[in-house]
Structure 1
Amino acid sequence: MPFVTQRKVRFQHCDPAGIVFYPRYYEMLNSVVEDYFAESVGHDFNRLHVDTRTGVPTAHIETDFHAPSRLGETLTFELTLRDVGRTSLTLRTVAHCGGEPRLTCDSTLVFVDLESGRPLPWPEAMRAHFAKDCQQG
């Protein structure tokens, strides 16, 4: 079952033509990942970054843009886990508005130690949560 959340297209996201400037989609996608970790996994980014000095940077991202999104629209983002590795997590995030696809993004996150920048194995509780989400996806 995908993690679903919404984002309103604001002026800050748009170019002079009033459509989402593509780098802003990546900010929205990151905020969706942040919400997934906080609301579904139970490890918000403050806990990860500040308390445990770990993070989940993007190691790979591939995006198809299907149609423009415009100022004032509300986009629905659906994040689905595709695979969980020893230190990585592969996601597919689809955004749509009123049933019309706007983008599809496949990305890979890596769990790292923020001090060294080196990959770490997922903590067992997180790995179990991801495995459950992968089976439901």
Structure 2
Amino acid sequence: MDLPEIWENRVRFEETDRQGIVFYGNYVTFQDETVTQFFRETGFDYTERHQEWDVHVVNVDLNYHGQADVGDELVHGVRVESFGTSSMTFEYAAHRADDGSLLVDGSVTHVAVDGETREPTRIPDDFRAAVREFQDEPPVES
């Protein structure tokens, strides 16, 4: 996956396990931070979305290819792969910054919900347009 680089971090000691490598579950947090930054960069800051619509994660699928240690700098990329009526699936990848090694890739699916009722709702057209403008490759619309 050749994804836009959205977020970077340095692995902290507390993010590692007894083996001294990043605990696998922390990549879900890293993916979430990356998607949150994606929303900011497309002009839809997370804190502002709560007023009209929000997103809930309904599926996470990650594949582990390598490991990162304390102090490693990681680069995270994400893009919207596809839009449904109320759902969107993001492609995600994490690489080690110094050598470009792929550590994790996969996808996460979010469902848009109404800010008040929390019921599924159509992903707003202005967000869809912002994503198409932001990404080199537009999402598939289904």
Q: Is the shorter-chain TM-score for this pair beyond 0.5, marking a shared fold?
A: yes
Residues 43, 130 of structure 2: 8 Å contact kept: no
Q: TM-score normalized by structure 1?
A: 0.87
TM-score normalised according to structure 2 size: 0.84
Structural RMSD (CA): 1.9
CA deviations on 1:63-86 (whole Å, 9 max, x unpaired) are: 100111111001111112211122
Structure 1: segments with no counterpart, 5+ residues: none
Partner of 1:104: 105
Whether contact under 8 Å (2:93, 2:106) holds in the other structure is yes
Q: Corresponding residue for 1:29?
A: 31
Residues 62 and 105 in structure 1, CA contact (< 8 A), matched pair in contact too: yes
Q: Please state how far the C-alpha of 1:114 moved relative to its aligned partner.
A: 4.2
Structure having the higher helix fraction is: 1
Deviations 1:11-37 (A, max 9, x none): 121112221111111111101000000
Equivalent AA in structure 1 for residue 39 of structure 2: F
Cα distance change of structure 1 residues 131 and 87 upon mapping to structure 2, 3 Å threshold: farther
Q: How many residues align?
A: 134
Structure 1 stretch displaced more, 53-62 or 18-27: 53-62
- Quick one: distance in 2 between partners of 1:54 and 1:125? 12
- Following superposition, the deviation at residue 92 of structure 1 comes to 0.7
Give, in whole Å, the separation in 2 of the partners of 1:134 and 1:115: 33
Question: Structure 2: 5+ residue runs without aligned partners?
Answer: none
Say if 1:82 and 1:134, in contact at 8 Å, map to a contact too. no
| Structure 1 contact 8–73 (Cα < 8 Å) conserved | yes
Aligned position for 1:71: 70
Moved over 3 A (4+): 134-137
Percentage identity across aligned positions?
26
Tell me if the contact between 1:81 and 1:134 (Cα under 8 Å) persists in the aligned partners.
Answer: no
